[in-house]
Copies of this chain bind each other. A is one copy, B any other.
Amino acid sequence: METPMTWQLAQRTRRMNPSLVRGILKLADRPGVISLAGGLPAPSTFPIEALREATERVWRDQPQHALQYTASEGHGPLREWLAESLCAQGLRVTADQVLITTGSQQGLDLVAKLLLDAGSTVAVESPTFLGALQAFAMAEPQVAEWACDDEGPRPDALMALRGARLAYVQPTFHNPTGRCLSAARRQAMVAAAQQQGVPLLEDNPYGDLWFDAPPPPPLASLWPEGVVYLGSFSKVLAPGLRLGYLVAPPALYPKLLQAKQAADLHTATFNQRLVWALIEQGGMPAHLQALRGFYRAQRDAMLHALHTHLPGGCERPQGRAVPDPPPEGGKKTWGGPALSCEWQSPSGGLFVWLRLPEGADALALLPQALAAGVAYVPGAAFYAGEPDARRVRLSFATATPEQIDAGIRLLATLLKAPR
- A residues adjacent to B (C-beta < 8 A): 2-13, 16-19, 22, 40-41, 43-44, 46, 48, 51-52, 55, 59, 63-70, 101-103, 105-106, 108-109, 113-118, 120, 131, 134-135, 137-139, 165, 194-195, 197, 199, 223, 225-226, 234, 238-242, 249, 251-252, 254-255, 258-259, 261-271
The reply to whether A115 and B7 form a contact with Cβ atoms under 8 Å apart is yes
> B40–A64 contact, CB under 8 A?
no
- Chain B residues closer than 8 Å to A271, beta-carbon distance: 268, 270-271
Smallest Cβ-Cβ distance to A101: which chain B residue = B264
**A9: chain B residues within 8 A (beta carbon):** 114-115, 255
Q: Among B13, B240, B255, which residue has its beta carbon within 8 angstroms of that of A68?
A: B240
Smallest CB gap from A164: residue in B: B8
Q: In the complex the two chains form, is B115's CB within 8 Å of A10's CB?
A: yes
B2 near A225: Cβ-Cβ < 8 Å: yes
- Cβ of A262 and Cβ of B40 under 8 Å apart? no
Partner of A48, one of B48, B64, B138: B64
Q: Is the pair B48, A67 in contact by a Cβ cutoff of 8 Å?
A: yes
Mind listing 21 A-B residue pairs with CB under 8 Å? Answer: A5-B197, A5-B225, A7-B251, A10-B114, A10-B117, A12-B113, A18-B258, A40-B68, A43-B68, A48-B67, A52-B63, A65-B240, A68-B238, A109-B262, A113-B138, A131-B261, A131-B265, A134-B262, A241-B268, A263-B263, A268-B268
Q: Are B46 and A55 in contact (CB under 8 A)?
A: no
B48 touches A109 (CB 8 A): no
Q: Are A194 and B3 in contact, with the CB atoms below 8 A?
A: yes
> Given the complex, which residues of B lie within 8 Å of A117, measured CB to CB?
10-12
Distance, CA A313 to CA B255, complexed state (A): 42
Quick check: A226 and B265 within 8 Å, CB to CB? no
Contact check, A7 vs B199: say whether CB atoms are below 8 A apart: yes
Give the distance in Å from the alpha carbon of A242 to the alpha carbon of B258 in the complex. Answer: 17
User: How far apart sit A51 and B69, CA to CA, in the bound complex (Å)?
Assistant: 17
Which B residues touch A258, using CB under 8 A? 16-19, 134
For A3, the closest partner residue in chain B by CB is B194
A67-B43, A255-B16 are contacts. A10–B134 as well, Cβ < 8 Å? no
Nearest B-chain residue to A13, judged by Cβ: B255
* Shortest distance between the CB of A8 and any CB in chain B (Å): 6
> Are B268 and A113 interface neighbours, CB within 8 A?
no
A33 to B1, CA, bound (A): 53
CB distance from A238 to the nearest CB of B (A): 4
Name the residue in A11, A251, A268 with the highest tally of chain B Cβ atoms < 10 Å from its Cβ.
A268
- Not counting A5-B225, A8-B165, a sample of 20 additional A-B residue pairs whose C-beta atoms are within 8 angstroms of each other reads A2-B225, A4-B225, A9-B115, A10-B114, A10-B115, A10-B117, A10-B120, A12-B113, A13-B255, A43-B64, A46-B67, A48-B67, A55-B55, A66-B240, A69-B240, A70-B240, A131-B261, A239-B269, A240-B269, A242-B267
CB pair B59 A137 closer than 8 Å: no
Interface pair B255/A242, CB less than 8 Å apart: no
The interface residues of chain B lying within 8 Å CB-to-CB of A69 are: 40, 234, 239-240
In angstroms, how far is the closest chain B Cβ from the Cβ of A229?
Answer: 14
Chain B residues closer than 8 Å to A103, beta-carbon distance: 264-265
Chain B proximity of A224: nearest CB distance (Å): 8
Report B-chain residues with C-beta under 8 Å of the C-beta of A48.
Answer: 59, 63-64, 67
B109 touches A264 (CB 8 A): yes
Q: Which residue of B lies closest to A268 (CB)?
A: B242
Across the interface, do B262 and A197 meet the contact criterion of CB distance under 8 Å? no
Q: Per a CB cutoff under 8 Å, which of B2, B40, B59, B252 touches A7?
A: B252
Which residue, A2, A262, A269, has most C-beta atoms of chain B within 10 A?
A262
B262 and A242 contacting across the interface, CB-CB below 8 Å: no
Contact A266-B242, Cβ < 8 Å, known A18-B254, A59-B48, A251-B7: yes
Contact residues in B for A261 (Cβ distance below 8 Å): 19, 22, 131, 134
Inter-subunit contact A10/B67 (CB<8 Å): no
C-alpha spacing A238/B66, complex, angstroms: 9
Min C-beta distance of A64 to chain B, whole Å: 4
